[in-house]
Amino acid sequence: MPALAEIAFSDLDEEINSTRRVLERLPNDKLDWKPHAKSNTLGELATHVVSIVGYEVAALDTDGLDFSKIAPTPPAASREALLHTFEKHVADLRRALAQTDDEAFERPWTLRVGDHVIFRRPRRIVLRSFGMSHLAHHRGQLTVYLRLLEVPLPPVYGPTADER
């Protein structure tokens, strides 16, 4: 019988490759651009996308994260820096998944800010919702930013108008 990780994350390669293709399109000269005053800059959003993969590693390697004890990650200075961090997080995620047994996926993981608990869920749910779904959501936002900047979009779940 396949391990839980193989079943639950059979789409991991697809999601990682799609994210990499989007990050590869980031224009270095537009990382400070944002579509609206209330929006993050392109660089801030891309840094958050990369950080999500790191959060997935933390969901496997720790019992939780306390954002009050973690300094905010400054926006990356370049596409190359983002891709370097992304590849490191991906390698760490693959290692952590390979070392996690089925029982560990059921253990609770907690996200908090000081005493305020944002959520406490089994790791398997954290990895899907706070990890994979969260990643897809913000990657989608990145594609909107790229479209507004007239950057041709790579395929994500299929061909784009730019790739046909």
> At 156, phi and psi to the nearest 5?
-115, -70
pTM exceeds cut of 0.85: yes
Q: Which residues, 6 or more positions from 96, have their beta carbon under 8 angstroms from its beta carbon?
A: 56, 57, 60, 61
If you compute the radius of gyration of the chain from its CA atoms, what whole number of angstroms results? 16
Range list of β-strands (E), the chain: 64-66, 108-113, 116-122
The domains of the chain are located at 4-148
pLDDT of residue 163: 80
CATH 1.20.120.450 given to domain 4-148: yes
pLDDT of residue 4: 64
pLDDT of residue 137: 97
Segment 38-83, tens digit of pLDDT: 999 999 999 999 999 999 999 999 999 999 999 988 999 999 999 9
